[in-house]
Amino acid sequence: MKTILIQFDTDAQPSVFDRVVAVDAGVDHLFSYGGVTPETVTGLVHGAMFTRGPGDLKSTAIFVGGSQASDGEALAKKIQKTFFGPMRVSVMMDSNGCNTTAAAAIASGRKQLSLNGLNAIVLGATGPVGLRAAELLAVEKATVTLVSRTLERSEAACATIRQKVEGASVKAAAASTAEEVEALCQNHQVIVAAGAAGVCFLPEGSLRKIAGLKLAIDLNAVPPNGIADVSAMDKAVEKSGVICYGALGVGGLKMKVHRQCIASLFESNDRVLETRAIYAQALKTAGIES
Ligand SMILES: NC(=O)c1ccc[n+]([C@@H]2O[C@H](COP(=O)([O-])OP(=O)(O)OC[C@H]3O[C@@H](n4cnc5c(N)ncnc54)[C@H](OP(=O)(O)O)[C@@H]3O)[C@@H](O)[C@H]2O)c1
């Protein structure tokens, strides 16, 4: 039976990026829909779940994307509510690459060192990527500081993680200047910079000033970098005794994970690939036992 991936994008135009990855993942047919909302998705999901017999439904799957992760989350929730009994298809949610990027970043770090018990700090932790990176660090039993320019926002992000990860050790912090960010980073062994494109949190020379730092991951691919000492191409490059990854250094694993997740949707009709399941795939792809 031919595989069909149905792309539901919350933006008006379905993402070209996600379409290319779907083709590269080997899907036979790709149906792309833009401007999909929880209010308009039910009929489209019925088209996916009522056309093939239960035994063949594993050859149909849904991908949820778009630029707004919160819209993607709401859409994925509605899609799963539409299913019943065996009448379901596998679903992956990766709006704006939020899950695959966070998963690849933390799996890259895990490849270098155990995160259990370390102090980790996430800069730009309130965005879709930063929030998920912080969640995965908490899953790895790191103590995680979530940084925003506004304490209220980092506190809300911490509350979200506490709901998702039992026993999560997270704390909220606020910083607006490079000096404040650098002071907060002291005595953290892991930094993940996940600020908006082009936002520099730590200027050149900062890495060597942060006591105890072992790992720095900067996900910002748009110059200037989020951590000026880390270049976008860095992939496990040691600088001032710190292992560094840049956005493109993480990007290779991210792309592999995205393709493998799409391919795995067709192994059964009941997969739900969101942050944790995508992280499990990233660990596997990176050759790490979870
Ligand atoms: N390598 C890859 O494959 C890949 C894939 C996807 C995304 N990315 C990159 O990952 C990063 C995170 O993505 P995202 O979508 O989560 O980012 P985002 O939502 O655009 O921004 C993340 C956070 O950055 C903070 N921020 C925004 N403007 C700021 C400013 N002027 N100064 C300081 N902080 C600021 C905001 O936090 P507060 O308002 O709470 O301070 C915001 O929540 C981006 O740089 C993106 O380009 C990389």
Mutate to test the pocket of ligand 1, among 96, 121, 149, 182 (most ligand atoms within 8 A of CB): 149
- Average per-residue pLDDT in the chain? 97
Architecture of domain 4-97+253-285: 3-Layer(aba) Sandwich (3.40)
Taking the domains of the chain in order of start, what are their residue ranges? 4-97+253-285, 101-250
pLDDT at residue 37, as a whole number: 98
Angstrom CA distances, 248 to 29, 117, 150, 258, stand at: 29, 28, 29, 15
**Below-50 pLDDT ranges, the chain:** none
**Same topology for domains 4-97+253-285 and 101-250, yes or no?**
yes
Written as one string, the DSSP assignment of 153-174 is: HHHHHHHHHHHHSTT-EEEEEE
Q: What is the pLDDT of residue 234?
A: 98
Question: Residue 211: which H helix or E strand, with range?
Answer: none
Q: pTM, whole model, 2 decimals?
A: 0.97
Q: Which residues does a 6 A CB cutoff place in the pocket of ligand 1?
A: 96-97, 101, 124, 126-130, 148-150, 153, 194-197, 199, 219-222, 247, 250-251, 254
Centre of ligand 1 from the C-alpha of residue 268, in Å: 34
Nearest-CA residue for atom 11 of ligand 1: 194
Candidates 66, 72, 91; CA nearest to 6 is 91
Determine the atom of ligand 1 nearest the C-alpha atom of 193: 11
In this prediction, residue 206 carries a pLDDT of: 96
Ligand 1 center to 65 CA (angstroms): 17
**Mutation to probe ligand 1, out of 152, 191, 199 (largest number of atoms < 8 A from CB):** 199
Q: What kind of fold does domain 101-250 have according to CATH? A: Rossmann fold (3.40.50)
Which residue lies with its CA nearest to atom 40 of ligand 1? 148
- Name which residue sits closest to atom 24 of ligand 1, judged by CA: 195
Return the residue matching tokens 């290779």. Answer: 252
d(CA 79, CA 140): 29
Residue nearest ligand 1's atom 19 by CA: 127
In which element (H, E) is residue 104 found?
Answer: helix 98-112
137 membership: H or E segment, kind and range: helix 128-139
Give nearest CA residue, ligand 1 atom 4: 101
Write down the residue that tokens 């730590």 correspond to: 202
* pLDDT confidence of residue 289: 79
C-alpha 168 – ligand 1 centre gap (Å)? 23
Q: How far is the CA of 73 from the centre of ligand 1 (A)?
A: 18
What is the pLDDT at residue 189? 98
- Percent of the chain whose predicted confidence (pLDDT) is above 90: 99
For 238-263, how does the pLDDT look when each residue is reduced to its tens digit (9 = 90+)?
999 999 999 999 999 999 999 999 99
141-200 pLDDT, tens digit per residue, is 999 999 999 999 999 999 999 999 999 999 999 999 999 999 999 999 999 999 999 899
Q: Between 247-264 and 275-285, two packed helices, what is the crossing angle to 10 degrees?
A: 110
Cα 175 to ligand 1 centre (Å): 15
